[in-house]
Structure 1
Amino acid sequence: MSIRTATLAGTAIATTATAVAGSIATDPSSGWYRRLRKPPFQPPSSVFPIVWTALYADLAAISAVALDGLDKRSRPAERRRYRQALAANLLLNAGWSWLFWRGRRPWLAAAECAVLAASSADLVRRTARVSPAAGTALAPYALWCSFATVLTTAIARRNPGR
């Protein structure tokens, strides 16, 4: 499937805005975060920006593929619902950073992250209906969001009252 430049620009702007919003809230060098007890499967802090950059690029490109595929099939209602699902997902994505890092509410962030993981799986499902290959390409995003839910929950469990 080919991607129209305007569609890719729109999804790239949306995912970049999400990345910036999340980055503004994120502070892995804060005393609060350094004092948290973390599980043994916690990746090094340097891994997160690398993984998230790749996942955001994937999300922007694959969402553009799905949106253009829906447009080409003359399904404006499905296209609109996909855009709404993507927007909700991106808001949830950025919201986690604010709940966890700025709000310092690991349990609330874990609950929100579970909703994000479900939303991400829904995007994979919606994308796969348009293009099975594109759905497969988006699956790592949903898997990472699920991992983030497990990790955030583990941090919350190890740090009651924080």
Structure 2
Amino acid sequence: MDETWKTLAVSEGISLGTGVLSALCTMGTMERYGMLRQPPLSPPGWVFPVVWTGLFALMGVSAWRVWQRSGGKRRRRALLLYGLQLAVNFTWPILFFRLGAYGPAFFWLLLLLALVSMMASRFWEIDPLAGALQIPYTLWLLFAAYLNLGIWLLNG
């Protein structure tokens, strides 16, 4: 396999692997989620894994594009932010779905949004397409924050 494809596979593995591990930690919680009072526009539970799979795939491609660029310190900082936001992302569904800690999960999600915004900005400086690939993720996180807040207020 060509080195380019190997690094893409590793990048996708890290990103999608984070999503899979998080999903494993929250397995069996969608039934409880379905029983909560939901704010308007709440999607059915099956939508979440579909959307998140696509978003994690985009994250992997985006990080890979940044990795492929030269940039030394700037690139390292951007990828550090990427890793940090992945760790924060991994924790949010555990707080929300597994623990039902809707208030703390909301504030954790705001932290995630801030990290993703910084990461997307750094990615954009290095590779505009890598930054643009973060737009769907950012929009979904905004929607998730609305859902999280609504569920917290309706069920807290």
TM-score, normalised relative to structure 1: 0.86
Superposition deviation, residue 133 in structure 1: 2.8
Q: Are residues 1:84 and 2:72 paired?
A: no
Superposed CA RMSD in Å reads 1.7
Q: Are residues 1:101 and 2:97 paired?
A: yes
- DSSP 3-state at the match of 2:117: helix
Quote the residue 1:48 is aligned against: 48
Q: Are residues 1:159 and 2:155 paired?
A: yes
TM-score, normalised relative to structure 2: 0.89
Distance in 2 of aligned mates of 1:41 and 1:139: 20
Q: Does the Cα contact within 8 Å between 2:62 and 2:129 map onto a contact in 1?
A: no
Superposition deviation, residue 50 in structure 1: 1.4
- DSSP 3-state at the match of 1:61: helix
Q: Deviations over 1:108-128 (max 9, x none)?
A: 111101111111112211111
Quote the residue 1:121 is aligned against: 117
Quote the residue 2:60 is aligned against: 60
Q: Deviations over 1:16-41 (max 9, x none)?
A: 221112201333443x3233211121
Quote the residue 1:38 is aligned against: 38
Q: Are residues 1:140 and 2:136 paired?
A: yes
What percent of counterpart residues are identical? 30
Distance in 2 of aligned mates of 1:119 and 1:4: 27
Quote the residue 1:4 is aligned against: 4
Distance in 2 of aligned mates of 1:98 and 1:145: 16
Distance in 1 of aligned mates of 2:143 and 2:38: 14
Distance in 2 of aligned mates of 1:122 and 1:62: 14
Superposition deviation, residue 156 in structure 1: 0.4
Letter in 2 for 1:51: V
- DSSP 3-state at the match of 1:4: helix
After the TM superposition, list the runs of 4 or more consecutive aligned residues in structure 1 that deviate by more than 6 angstroms.
Answer: none
Distance in 2 of aligned mates of 1:127 and 1:87: 13
